[in-house]
Amino acid sequence: MLLEYLTELKNSLSEDDFYRFMKDVTNDIKVNRVAFNKKTSQAEFKNICEILKGTLLRCDNEQVINY
């Protein structure tokens, strides 16, 4: 289930974008969950990914509009 999600996510992004995206997800989890001694379930991991993916898409759209 999680592997399928990550494979689909990886296929939707360039290799560099995927690795940057995963670094952002990892940093988010470290700062907001590990620092407070909370575990991250698969569902929470996917939710964090979806939130950051939406942010990434909005940022990309704003860059296109601003040019």
Q: What is the pLDDT of residues 27-67, one digit of tens each?
A: 999 999 998 999 999 999 999 999 998 888 788 766 645 44
Query: What pLDDT, on the 0 to 100 scale, is given for residue 7?
Result: 96
Angle in degrees, 0-180, between the axes of helices 2-12 and 15-32, rounded to the nearest 10: 130
The model's pTM: 0.78
Q: Rounded distance, CA 46 to CA 6, Å?
A: 9
